[in-house]
A and B are shown apart, each in its own frame.
Chain A
């Protein structure tokens, strides 16, 4: 158990819909990262937050947004969903930056029908 929790574990929804994925980091970690893992594109870094502020942005679509709240939990919002958004979405946390060990949650499997 990494100490990072993600909810829900599975999500099935339809094209055009909007969903919210939630992540709680390990106690004491200030950074939260979001990743997408799909068969087509492999593991892709989406975005990083550090202590509530956006720190780095990767291959995140404009339809996707994220935030980190004062209690350090984070949410990833995916809107106008397309079939191609079906993937595993991982959240990870670390003490500060990416050189620190990142601890991964179990992931949320999103299926868009």
Chain B
């Protein structure tokens, strides 16, 4: 069965530093891939998605992610962290021909001043 692994339940970076949140999926056929963000006490919001166009996907708030088929990865990056980026980030996949999102466990991003 398809699964999603997010490495690190908590990631801490200094303000202005690079943000790197890792996501790996388990599938021989590349699925559709998503990153969602959840701010405290709020619902989730789509950051970006990969649906088999360009492998480097740009999203909102300066985030981007690169799909690497050989590594079955879809890591999320942002060149310079801002205090407002503190939130929980979820990677999710939809297998092709399927209708449900399969979620990673989430990574809490902590920004140090």
Q: Which A residues fall within an 8 A CB radius of B?
A: 2, 4, 33, 42-45, 48, 55-56, 58, 90, 92, 97-99, 101-107
Contacts and interface: CB of A to CB of B under 8 A. Distances in A.
Nearest to B102: A45
Contacts, number: 50
Nearest to B32: A99
B1 to A, nearest CB: 12
Interface string B70-113: 00000000000000000000100010001111110110000000
A48 B100 contact: yes
Contacts of B99: 48, 55-56, 97-98
B3 interface: no
B100 A56 contact: yes
B106 A42 contact: yes
Interface residues of B, number: 18
Contacts of A33: 101
8 contacts: A33-B101, A56-B98, A90-B44, A98-B32, A101-B46, A101-B49, A102-B46, A105-B43
Given A42-B105, A48-B100, A56-B98, A104 B44 contact: yes
